[in-house]
Amino acid sequence: MSKLDALIKTYEGVETVAVIHAAFDETPHTVALVEVSKALSTDEKLEKAFMLTNSINDAWYNNKEITKMFDGDGCRSTSVGDMLLLEAGEKYKCDILGWSKV
């Protein structure tokens, strides 16, 4: 992403959330960058990023709000034990019910 693209996103009120798969992997790794509205609450940002990185009718990485950060043809959906990193530097782990700050 160019500096101009980043500036436009900031102006438009868009925040980027990093999705980190760690639940079933030895080494956590970022698999996606998800665009969400800055106007959402923290919980709403987390839930939106989780929802957008789960396959329902199509592979999740085909969503237009997502920048694919993994190699290969496919990637599993976000699961319990995976983490999300907000632009403010706050990291959250997906729990069975909700999120816990890491």
What tens digit of pLDDT does each residue of 9-56 get? 656 789 999 999 999 988 999 999 999 999 999 999 999 999 999 998
* pLDDT score for 65: 86
Query: What b/e string do you get for 7-38 counting C-beta neighbours within 10 Å, with b at 16 or more?
Result: eeeeeeebbbbbbbbbeeeeeeeebbbbbbee
CA 21 to CA 5: how far, in whole Å? 26
**CB of 90 closer than 8 Å to CB of 83:** no
**CB of 85 closer than 8 Å to CB of 36:** no
Residue 89 has pLDDT above 60, yes or no: yes
Residue where the block lists tokens 């706050």:
90
CA 36 to CA 58: how far, in whole Å? 19
Average pLDDT, the chain: 91
* pLDDT score for 64: 87
Closest CA to 40 of 49, 30, 31, 52: 49
